[in-house]
Amino acid sequence: MNEAPIGIFDSGVGGLTVMKAVMHRLPGESICYFGDNARGPYGSRDIGEIRGFALEIAAFLEDLGVKLIVIACNSATSAGLLEVQRRCRVPVLGVVEPGARGAVQATHNRRIGVIGTRATISSRAYLRAIHALDAGATVHSRACPSLVDFVEGGEVEGPRVEEEVRRYLAPLLRRGVDTLVLGCTHYPLISKVIGDVAGEGVSLISSDWEV
The residues assigned a catalytic role are: 73, 184
- Rounded CA-CA distance 163/179 in Å is 20
What does the buried/exposed string (b/e) look like for 78-96 if buried means 16 or more CB atoms within 10 Å of the residue's CB?
bbbbeebbeebebebbbbb
- Cβ atoms of 188 and 17 within 8 Å: the answer is yes
Counting Cα atoms < 13 Å in the Cβ hemisphere of 180 gives: 31
- Cβ atoms of 151 and 174 within 8 Å: the answer is no
Counting Cα atoms < 13 Å in the Cβ hemisphere of 211 gives: 31
143 three-class SS: strand
Strand partners, 164: none
